[in-house]
């Protein structure tokens, strides 16, 4: 189990670094969007490439940060029932959901999207819009994003099993989780 926990920490660190790096793409996306709108309305100039770049940046943030979102427990939950259950029951629900829903679905999407990327790569697919961008980079985001999500799902599964076996503190507790603790300390320093 200690080896699995080391793997889990490595996955957490990978998704934390990717998430923290890609946060800056939100600013870039906003600047591209504002610049594109300004040029369109002020100078009556427009470019499909700039519009598609916005979509590519949004896709990058959304897909590549899915694992980061799961790491930080910021994904959408419907806690109407589970909030009334014990912490052990909540963790068993997480384990069940990860094993039977998250991992199979993310692996299946990764498997289905890989040939789409390969086809775009080999054919050097270009957008059908005039002045559009090449498509293979954005097609690669889907399998890569779901790969990172699958890895993080595996990490969360390892942590929950380790907690239930009494080997680590509660992985949902931001005070004991090393990646979340660092983030919280950084937020406190900013205040």
- pLDDT category of residue 177 using cuts at 50, 70 and 90: low
- pLDDT category of residue 112 using cuts at 50, 70 and 90: very high
- pLDDT category of residue 1 using cuts at 50, 70 and 90: confident
Residue-wise pLDDT tens digits, 21-74: 999 999 999 999 898 889 888 888 877 888 888 889 999 999 999 999 999 988
What does pLDDT average to over the chain?
A: 87
The structure's pTM equals 0.83
Highest mean pLDDT among 31-40, 152-161, 168-177: 152-161
Report the distance separating Cα 189 and Cα 163, nearest Å: 29
pLDDT mean over 104-133: 91
pLDDT in the model for residue 189: 42
Report the distance separating Cα 180 and Cα 76, nearest Å: 18
Q: What is the largest CA-CA distance in the chain?
A: 64
For residue 175, pLDDT over 70 is answered with no
Report the distance separating Cα 133 and Cα 52, nearest Å: 7
- Decide if 167 contacts 1 (C-beta within 8 A): yes
Higher-confidence residue of 103 and 127: namely 103
What are the residues facing 126 on neighbouring strands? 134
Report the distance separating Cα 153 and Cα 67, nearest Å: 8
pLDDT in the model for residue 186: 44
For residue 188, pLDDT over 50 is answered with no
List the domain boundaries for the chain: 2-190
pLDDT mean over 169-188: 60
- Decide if 172 contacts 71 (C-beta within 8 A): no
């Amino acid at each position: 189990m200690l080896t699995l926990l080391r793997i889990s920490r490595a996955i957490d660190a990978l998704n934390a670094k990717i998430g923290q790096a890609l946060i800056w793409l939100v600013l870039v996306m906003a600047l591209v969007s504002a610049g594109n709108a300004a040029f369109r309305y002020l100078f009556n100039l427009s470019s499909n490439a700039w519009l598609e770049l916005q979509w590519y940046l949004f896709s990058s943030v959304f897909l590549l940060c899915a694992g980061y979102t799961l790491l930080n427990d910021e994904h959408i939950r419907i806690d109407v029932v589970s909030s009334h259950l014990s912490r052990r029951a909540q963790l068993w629900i997480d384990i069940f959901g990860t094993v039977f829903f998250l991992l199979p679905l993310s692996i299946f999407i990764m498997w289905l999207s890989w040939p789409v990327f390969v086809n775009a790569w080999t054919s050097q697919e270009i957008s059908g819009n005039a002045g559009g961008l090449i498509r293979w980079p954005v097609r690669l985001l889907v399998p890569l994003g779901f790969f990172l999500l699958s890895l993080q799902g595996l990490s969360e599964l390892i942590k929950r099993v380790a907690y239930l076996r009494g080997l680590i503190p509660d992985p949902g507790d931001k005070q004991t989780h090393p990646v979340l603790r660092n983030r919280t300390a950084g937020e406190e320093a900013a205040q």
